[in-house]
Amino acid sequence: MKLKQLFLNYCDFSIESGEIYITQTNLIRLLKDSFILDGKQLTINKLSILLSKEFKVPANHVKSLTFEQYLNTILRIAEFKDP
Domains and CATH numbers, the chain: 2-81 (1.10.238)
Q: Strand, coil or helix: what is 16?
A: coil
**Cα–Cα distance between 37 and 47 in angstroms, integer?**
8
Considering the entire predicted model, what is its pTM?
0.84
The DSSP element (H or E) to which 26 belongs, if any, is helix 24-33
For residue 64, the cross-strand partners are 23
CA 41 – CA 43 distance, rounded (Å): 6
The residues pairing with 6 across neighbouring beta strands, listed in sequence order, are none
Please give the single-letter amino acid code of residue 36. I
Provide the pLDDT for residue 76.
Answer: 92
- The pLDDT value given to residue 77: 92
pLDDT tens over the chain, length 83 residues:
788 998 989 998 877 888 888 988 999 999 999 999 988 889 988 988 888 888 887 767 778 889 999 999 999 999 988 87
